Amino acid sequence: MSAKGRLKSFRKLLAHARDILQVDVGFQLWDGSTVPESLPPDAFAICFADEGAIAALIRKPSMETMANLWVSKRIDLKNGDLFKLIEQKPRVRTREIRKALNKWLAFNTARKFWFVNRGGPWPLDEQPDEKPSDGSREENEQNVQYHYDLSNAFYTLWLDKEMIYSCGYCTDWDNDIDRMQQNKLEMICRKLRLKPGEHMLDIGCGWGALSFYAAQNFGVTTVGVSLATQQIEYAKAKAERLGLSDRVQFELTDYATVEGQFDKVVSVGMHEHIGIANYPTYYATVKRIMKPEGLFLHHAITRPAKKDAKTFRKGNEEFKLLTKYIFPGGELDHIGNTVTMFEQGGFEVHDVEAWREHYQRTCRHWHDRLLANYDTAVAEVGEDKTRLWLLYLGGCSITFERDGARIYQTLVSHKRRGPSGLPPTRADLYR
């Protein structure tokens, strides 16, 4: 079959699919032609750069294939983004689509592309297969640095002004990213009931924003720990610049090796990295380093629970891609197990708050800011990484919106007899 014949057959299939799906999206093909032929220049369209991309999808129709084709721009979007694509929902039901589909046309088109070379590049193929973290410092450091040491300049392009890389908190759904992150820092400090003179440990401190905020606004001294070299270097330099080095310290170290006793302990967005098999170490470490009257705030993404542990651990293809290409070694808990492990570990759970919709908005802000700084990001980390991060941030926003992932803040203390020392209501959090 000639290349011209394959193109003609694929065009016919696209036109047929567009008709039965009843979606407002066009297609631009590798020879410059469009489906429909009268597609306006400003219309939203899916673009195919070469016929090898079609052959690859036919032979291996998976999310991994799509991710490779997207990152390499062999499949792209014109006059729109991932969110606009998701809006293009078929106006007919799946059952009706199956009935209306010309199966001979689909089969015949696939047959014509079956032996076409898949072409290239395939930039994600070099990434090793994903496996849960073994909990060692060496592997934790490798996994953390893969993601967080990508480039401080890159993260500056789309994070808020304080460089906070975790879920923000809306007091109004229209809050911008800077307001959301300030709200979050304030809420965490209030939940911990920080008092002047207390000593706080910030596990997975990132670029140090929470430690700085707690020291400046609540009068505490802090220690922040991370395994990301660039983050720690940035945070130390900022502490010097702000004149806070005597009150805010940062250490490049594994959380499990931290020594000392702390009045308050906080972990924001770090639990996701340690792996389910290593959860006992996490809870035991917090219990060991937190003073008897202390409080611990645990902030972590979760997945909805499944019918049993085996099904839950299996996960889905999208999450496997996320851990392979974005967060190697990462695993997510479900909130039921989180609460159970706190109680089994000798803690009392005082408060659990869901922030799912807040993270949907946070990720959307990040995606849009990165897209607005696309050219600068490409110059900093390359087009492959920029497009991969756009896919990750956009995909996360959609996942949180659809309740495919959740996020909770959980406040606990050591289990003990007698009063907890907490206020009788949550009113102090919202004053």
| Residues designated as active site | 396
Q: DSSP label at 333? A: B
Neighbours of 51 (CB within 10 A): 21
* Dist. CA 209–CA 228, nearest whole Å: 15
Half-sphere CA count of 243, side-chain side, radius 13 A = 0
Name which of 80, 140, 430, 416 is nearest 272 in CA terms: 140
- Residues 7/32, Cβ–Cβ less than 8 Å: no
Label residue 336 exposed, middle or buried (CB < 10 Å: 0-12, 13-18, 19+): exposed
Q: Is 330 helix (H, G, I), strand (E, B) or coil?
A: coil
Half-sphere CA count of 259, side-chain side, radius 13 A = 0
At 398, list the tokens.
């959609």
For residue 98, give the amino acid letter.
R
Radius of gyration of the chain from Cα atoms? 25
Angle between the 317-325 and 383-401 helix axes, to the nearest 10 degrees? Answer: 140
